[in-house]
Chains A and B, each alone.
Chain A
Amino acid sequence: MGHMGFFTDTTLCIGCKACEVACKQWNQLPADGYKWTGNSYDNTGHLSATTWRHVAFVEHTRPSDSTGKVVNWLMMSDVCKHCEHAGCMEACPTGALIRNEFGDVYLQPDICNGCGYCVPSCPFGVVDLKLDDGRAYKCTLCYDRQKDGLEPACAKACPTDFITFGDLDELREKARRRVETLHTRGETSAYLYGVDEDTSGFFPPDGPALRL
């Protein structure tokens, strides 16, 4: 089996946060408190030990164009990228972080000793220590669901298929075709991130981006 992963098409995200809720429900993660941030519709703020999906909202002001719209609301659901060259895995002294049979970076909570070296080693702020039991937690890419041949909960819940899950080689092809389509439609700023770099990163604030 090839490596499995996500292709996220930020042109399709509508900011519904269904992925956040589906992730918390499937993985039985607790709510993190009820604080209104005032930062657009984002009351999650960042990924953490108990938040493995985070939808970012960017209110992007630009000069009024022919549509008269002065604001573009960019939404993007962020998650662990399961990097090919994973900083967290390289930093882990116990071997708790492994690459599983689906090619994903999986954190084994029964091996983790809570040293926290993985936390600053992740350039994307994904891994986090849970304060009550001291161990590190992050997205498992729904390892348990994949074992049963199911797609991860977030991808299942996504109503626009902004999050697509599958074989990475197939997704790379799909992503390249999608960028070509967007270019044909005149969205020349659309580009792919993380396809040839073997990892992916934060979405660019200045235009639609597709990432793997």
Chain B
Amino acid sequence: MNVEGRGRLYAPSGLADGPLPTYYEPVESPVTNLLYPHTPTNPVVKYWNRQDNPHNGLANPDYPYAITTYRLTEHHVGGAMSRWVPWLSELQPELFAEISEELAAEKGVKNGDWITIWTTRGEVEAKAMVTPRIQPLKIEGRTVHQIGLPYHWGYKGVVTGDIANDLLMLVADRNVSMHNAKSFTCNMRPGRRSHQGQDGSRVAREMP
């Protein structure tokens, strides 16, 4: 924030990636960057290069879908508080993933079926919500599918479900270290998650 209380298009100081705004692809994207083919993603992004924090890369055919995570009005942030409130939990009782009718047809998924979504970090299972509100994108002549995943579930509460954050790569912007949970890539298949805990409970898979 500037002293005059406004943002600036031209910001000569204070930004690690200024002074002018431009466009980069997210660090994981189903496509490459036509504007900067040699520097497709923001060069000053903060990475944590660890074995348990791998990267799907750009335009990786193993992870062809764009995915975003978001909140619902019924739950509060990660859901740790609201999952214990029956009045809120009855309104959004299970983790679901919103997919387009086109992607559902391609994968043979019907509304309400279990689907498994995975990245190089982990996998989650969710109920499929097939909806025309989610539309496939047309980019460079090919179809890119999108998946929407709310993130309010966990293993405790009156309602439980898989943890959307298990899918995420830990990567952050250089200015305020805001972690990116809004755009990354994944793959999806019909059916429930394959990895189970020793007690038979369904847990996230082991670290790679």
Q: Do chains A and B stick together as partners?
A: yes
Q: Which residues of A are at the interface with B, using a C-beta cutoff of 8 A?
A: 15-18, 20-21, 24-25, 30-36, 38, 40-41, 43-44, 59, 61, 70-71, 73
Q: Give per-residue flags for B159-203: 1 if the beta carbon is below 8 A from chain A beta carbons, else 0.
A: 100000000000000000000000000000000000000000000
In whole angstroms, how far apart are the Cα atoms of A59 and B132 in the complex?
Answer: 8
Q: Specify the chain A residue showing the minimal Cβ separation from B73.
A: A16
Task: Give how many A-B residue pairs fall within 8 Å (CB-CB).
Answer: 57
Q: Contacts A30-B86, A34-B159, A38-B112 hold; do A20 and B91 have CB atoms under 8 A apart?
A: yes
In whole angstroms, how far apart are the Cα atoms of A31 and B72 in the complex?
Answer: 19
Interface size on B, residues (CB 8 A): 23
Write out the residue numbers on chain B whose beta carbons fall within 8 Å of the beta carbon of A30.
86
In whole angstroms, how far apart are the Cα atoms of A70 and B131 in the complex?
Answer: 11
Q: At the interface, yes or no: B42 with Cβ under 8 Å from chain A?
A: no
Q: Contacts A34-B93, A34-B159, A36-B94 hold; do A21 and B88 have CB atoms under 8 A apart?
A: yes
Are B132 and A43 in touch, CB under 8 angstroms?
A: no
CB distance from B61 to the nearest CB of A (A): 28
Q: At the interface, yes or no: B137 with Cβ under 8 Å from chain A?
A: no
Are A43 and B88 in touch, CB under 8 angstroms?
A: no
Are B73 and A73 in touch, CB under 8 angstroms?
A: no
Write out the residue numbers on chain B whose beta carbons fall within 8 Å of the beta carbon of A16.
73
Write out the residue numbers on chain B whose beta carbons fall within 8 Å of the beta carbon of A41.
72, 92
Q: Contacts A24-B87, A34-B159 hold; do A43 and B131 have CB atoms under 8 A apart?
A: no
Q: Contacts A17-B74, A38-B111 hold; do A33 and B87 have CB atoms under 8 A apart?
A: no
In whole angstroms, how far apart are the Cα atoms of A70 and B135 in the complex?
Answer: 9
- Interchain CB contact (< 8 A) of A21 among B91, B93, B94: B91
Q: Specify the chain B residue showing the minimal Cβ separation from A159.
A: B73
Are B133 and A71 in touch, CB under 8 angstroms?
A: yes
In whole angstroms, how far apart are the Cα atoms of A179 and B129 in the complex?
Answer: 35
- Interchain CB contact (< 8 A) of A31 among B87, B111, B127: B87
Are B111 and A71 in touch, CB under 8 angstroms?
A: no
Are B91 and A17 in touch, CB under 8 angstroms?
A: yes
CB distance from A210 to the nearest CB of B (A): 23
List which B74-97 residues lie within 8 A (CB) of chain A: 74, 86-94, 96
In whole angstroms, how far apart are the Cα atoms of A35 and B132 in the complex?
Answer: 22
Q: At the interface, yes or no: B44 with Cβ under 8 Å from chain A?
A: no
Write out the residue numbers on chain A whose beta carbons fall within 8 Å of the beta carbon of B133.
59, 71, 73
> Which 9 residue pairs of A and B lie closest in terms of their CB atoms, listed nearest first?
A31-B86, A34-B93, A36-B94, A38-B112, A31-B90, A16-B73, A71-B132, A24-B87, A71-B133
